[in-house]
Amino acid sequence: MSIGKSQSALDDSSSSVKASVSRQQSIFLLCERCHWCTTYIDKSRLPADNKCQQCSNTDMLSSFPILSNESFTFDYNEKRGVELEFKPRKTMTK
């Protein structure tokens, strides 16, 4: 019986860690209208009103989650629009 309780406590602990990690996942925001962009460290800091900080337009923000082992580049030109390239983050060697 104590094994079942330990497993249940382990499951609860595991789900708490997963929830904490998902809250702390970085988010890239892009305004579809003016192409303003930013990266937020976690979901708790996202603007609640979904309003662009540059052009004040609402409901034009797109969001993309960024994994902890991922990096990206952002490029924009008038002909092609916005280009995002996501790739694995390079590990630093000592």
Give the pLDDT confidence score for residue 55 in this predicted structure.
94
* Average pLDDT, 10 consecutive residues per value, the chain (94 residues): 38 40 73 89 84 90 86 84 82 67
Give the pLDDT confidence score for residue 94 in this predicted structure.
64
CB 93 within 8 A of CB 86: no
Give the pLDDT confidence score for residue 24 in this predicted structure.
66
Give the pLDDT confidence score for residue 48 in this predicted structure.
83
Give the pLDDT confidence score for residue 8 in this predicted structure.
39
Return the H-helix or E-strand segment holding 76.
strand 70-77
Beta-carbon contacts of 54 under 8 Å, excluding residues fewer than 6 positions away, are: 31, 34, 36
- Phi–psi pair at 47, nearest 5 degrees: -65, 125
Nearest C-alpha neighbor of 62 from the set 72, 52, 77: 52
- Phi–psi pair at 38, nearest 5 degrees: -160, 165
Give the pTM: 0.59
Give the pLDDT confidence score for residue 92 in this predicted structure.
64
- Collapsing DSSP states into helix, strand and coil, what is residue 51? strand
